[in-house]
Amino acid sequence: MALDKSVLSDYKKAGSILSEALAHGNKLIKVDANILEVCQAVEKKIHDLGGQMAFPAQPSIDNIAAHWCPDPGSKEVFTEGMLVKFDVGVHINGRIADSAFSVDLSDDKRYEGLIRASKNARDEALKIMKPGTTLGEIGRVIQDEITREGFSPIRNLSGHGLGEYEVHTSPSIPNFDTGDKTELKEDMVVAVEPFATPGQGKIFEQEQGNIYALIHVKPVRSPYAREALKIIESYNKLPFTLHWLSAQMGVGQAKLAMRELIQKGAVEVYPPLPEVSGPVVSQSEHSVIVADKPIVYTRE
């Protein structure tokens, strides 16, 4: 069944807004730029263009593959030698666009090959996002492109389906050849998301993070937690970050509220994901609608 015209229009609008916002962000990611301010500027651009955040702008740095955000009030800046993955999501009426790019802030451009590996893997995979292509075939294309450059794909991270108000749904799009014979179907909406590294090709979860999502609305005792819960419900169970809450209710109150909400099991935490052996990671991502001629709707 073909996507409804209004649904397709929402996806394309979300993708167009995201593409413009990421181009804006790419210009802002420079040595000595405040990281939090760059995230806020990109998020403001999205809102100004008529989009809503599907998840926070995430400027994961060096060996952190994903799920890192600066803390509220952070003075941390981008520095020479960093490899930055900038991952952002936009939605229109719950239809999500998800895209990411990597930026080499080293003077000698030492990460050019690593960035090229994940970007080429993404682009080659996008060409075969057609009905009947198997998940294993996609993984093999990604793996071949990354290893051709002398690097390893991160095997326990993957691309993913995009549902209505859901950032991660089936199918899982592997970054290596799993042999999975599951076939893509027409009008599936997915994010192709290769990660490349000179390391072992595996990530682990750190203990703490400041990206969250609502699981269940539960009774809470403190007025701070009740206020936070009202704000969080407006996100439609999509991921959010601490500096969003802090902007509305203050840093101290937001932290106290989140502590209670986590203890109550009302929210889940998305911790940063570093590579196990320590080296840097690159990432490239686009969202695509599966068709005989794939619709890459986050591409300019």
Catalytic residue among 91, 160, 243, 286: 160
Catalytic residue among 43, 104, 145, 193: 193
| One-letter amino acid for residue 174 of the chain | P
- Which tokens belong to 230? 């009202």
Of 62, 98, 104, 275, which is the active-site residue? 98
Question: What's phi and psi for 178, nearest 5 deg?
Answer: -90, -10
Q: Which of these is catalytic: 10, 43, 137, 285?
A: 285
Rg (CA), the chain: 19
H or E element: which one contains 60?
A: strand 52-61
Residue 32 is a catalytic residue: no
Other Cβ atoms less than 10 A from the Cβ of 109: the count is 10
98 counts as catalytic: yes
Residue identified by tokens 């403190």 is 222
Residue ranges of E strands in 164-252 = 166-173, 189-192, 195-197, 211-214, 240-241
| Helix, strand, coil abundance in the chain, percent, nearest 5 | 35, 25, 40
Q: Which of 71, 149, 166, 168 is catalytic?
A: 168
Is residue 238 within 8 Å of 165, Cβ to Cβ? yes
The identity of residue 254, as a single letter, is A
Catalytic residue among 43, 62, 87, 104: 87
Q: Which residues are catalytic?
A: 87, 98, 160, 168, 193, 285
